Amino acid sequence: MTAFPEQFLWGAASAAYQVEGGHDADGKGPSIWDLYAHLPGTTHEGTNGDLAADHYHRFKEDVALMAEQGLTSYRFSIAWTRLFPAGRGAVNPAGVAFYHALIDELLRHNIKPMITLYHWDLPQALQDIGGWESRETVDAFADYAELCYREFGAKAELWATFNETVVFIGMGYITGAHPPGVRDPARALQACHHVFLAHARAVQRFRELKQDGLVRHDAVIGFVNVLQPHASASDRPEDIAARALADGCFTHWFYDPVLRGEYPAELLQWAQEALGAPLFAPGDTELLKANLCDFIGVNYYKRELVAANPDVDNTRINTSGEKGSGREFGFRGLFKLVRNPSGEYTDWDWEIYPRGLTEGILQLKARYGNVPVYITENGLGAKDPIIDGEVVDDARIDYLARHLKAAADAIAAGADVRGYYPWSFTDLLSWLNGYQKQYGFVYIDRDNHLARQRKKSFFWYQEVIRSHGAGL
């Protein structure tokens, strides 16, 4: 017996900067990550994505492995700077050709592409004119999206505009750990507002081009968010209030605009009074309202326990992989994320809590109705053991199996979950943690010309796919 609907997609995920390499190949322009990762002290031991897994040159080998594993879908992102080296203006035909070749190779193996338009690698040329703080970037994004639809819209049916806005805005403009390295909540909220507008504009163009027959009639477009369910650390009223605030700031702020077309009203009022942002221009409200998602993508790794926070002011996270080295994360006066004393944790201090996937999806269903859901990321970051030359990633198998069962529970409870994309297909670059934090089904031997090697989990997932999840 399988709990998964017949059309359920068995995928795996990646993102351009983390896997492609070829950072300046064939006319590609620099992105903010190309520059940022080369600044001293920004990433784990100075690691960067210049070479990554060299998927740009080895995608055929990678797609052959996907086909061997049995994937029915593959989620990847397009590097904006390959298509528009300066973010707008002149198109780079070699970049367009690369994604055609990748997509054609996937289709040849009956693997459905799921295309993410933006997985954090903003063209540096647009950062230079203000990045997401500028409405010119919104215009440039709509044009970039349109080029993608015109080129690839007849081939791909699954599209997502943005990946994890809470992370690239939160880390880019509040904690300062991602580019552009700003620490200013008001600027964060304005940049974030522009991302929602860019999403809405891209959805609008998608539907126009679909109407014109340039995009497949069965194509759909969504937005990918972090799914991080929160629980209060105790039943003290202040912790319950802190949890509600965390839900508002981390979840509703990012889901409401794309699924309801508006911000959570109370929080918006608070932000505008306290910080003076986000500021709306005429037409913004209508634009958001008119362009809701066809589906929502959820990236689930962990849940968080939340407590009232009179004291902690820390936004640094564990990037070493030494369990217990992370400090409490919190915004003083608002809330903090605290360790669950009886919780199970990864070496990066992320709580392993499969039920959170079920709970989180059902919370979304309760708030937004039965919108189609794709689990666009889920996975275990670990330093995988190698025994007698084999990568024996039993911990990953255990993690994924338990989360797949949790996804099945959400489906049994009535949620419309349509696909599962573990992070990641091959090992790849972790933004701040380098290559030591592995997620893949396929090991990349960095000491041996990036040779690909199937891990134990590769064969495990192959069997899950073959049985359509029956043997879990």
Per the listing, tokens 């492609």 go with: 20
Reference 364, options 438, 421, 297, 291; nearest CA is 297
**314 belongs to an annotated ligand binding site:** no
**In this complex, which beta carbon is closest to ligand BGP, that of residue 76 or of residue 431?**
431
Question: Is residue 243 a contact point for ligand BGP (CB under 6 A)?
Answer: no
Question: Is residue 288 a contact point for ligand BGP (CB under 6 A)?
Answer: no
**163 belongs to an annotated ligand binding site:** yes
**In this complex, which beta carbon is closest to ligand BGP, that of residue 207 or of residue 339?**
339
C-alpha 339/C-alpha 353 separation (Å) is 13
In this structure, the strands spanning 442-445 and 451-454 are antiparallel
**18 belongs to an annotated ligand binding site:** yes
Binding mask 295-334 for ligand BGP (x = CB under 6 A): ----x-----------------------------------
**In this complex, which beta carbon is closest to ligand BGP, that of residue 198 or of residue 233?**
198
Question: Is residue 113 a contact point for ligand BGP (CB under 6 A)?
Answer: no
Q: How many residues bind ligand BGP (CB under 6 A)?
A: 13
Reference 432, options 223, 175, 227; nearest CA is 175
C-alpha 277/C-alpha 299 separation (Å) is 27
**In this complex, which beta carbon is closest to ligand BGP, that of residue 96 or of residue 249?**
249
Residue 386: partners with Cβ closer than 8 Å, 6 or more residues away: 392
Shortest Å distance, C-beta 28 to ligand BGP: 19
377 as an active site residue: the answer is yes
Please give the structure tokens belonging to residue 199.
Answer: 């999403």
> From the list 423, 441, 460, 461, which residue makes contact with ligand BGP (rule: CB under 6 A)?
423
One-letter amino acid at 329 equals F
**48 belongs to an annotated ligand binding site:** no
**423 belongs to an annotated ligand binding site:** yes
C-alpha 365/C-alpha 362 separation (Å) is 5
Q: Which of 164, 238, 262, 273 is catalytic?
A: 164
Alpha carbon 464 to its chain centroid, in Å, reads 23
Site for ligand BGP in 142-201 (CB under 6 A): 163-164, 167
Angle, CA 187 vertex, CA 283 and CA 232 arms, to 5°: 100
344 as an active site residue: the answer is no
Shortest Å distance, C-beta 206 to ligand BGP: 22
Q: State the helix-helix crossing angle for 456-466 and 394-412, rounded to 10 degrees.
A: 30
Please give the structure tokens belonging to residue 60.
Answer: 């055929």
Shortest Å distance, C-beta 287 to ligand BGP: 26
Question: Is residue 42 a contact point for ligand BGP (CB under 6 A)?
Answer: no
The HSE-up count of residue 377 (CA atoms within 13 Å, CB side) is: 26
Segment lying near ligand BGP (by CB under 6 A), choices 25-33, 129-137, 173-181, 427-435 = 427-435
DSSP-assigned states of every residue in 422-472: -B-SB---BTTTBTSSB--SEEEETTTTTEEEE-HHHHHHHHHHHTTTTT-
**In this complex, which beta carbon is closest to ligand BGP, that of residue 133 or of residue 377?**
377
Question: Is residue 381 a contact point for ligand BGP (CB under 6 A)?
Answer: yes
Question: Is residue 203 a contact point for ligand BGP (CB under 6 A)?
Answer: no
Exposed, middle or buried by CB within 10 Å (0-12, 13-18, 19+), for 218? exposed
Active site residues: 164, 377
Binding-site ranges for ligand BGP (CB under 6 A)? 15, 18, 163-164, 167, 299, 377, 381, 423, 430-431, 433, 437
Q: Which residues are annotated as a binding site for substrate?
A: 18, 119, 163, 301, 423
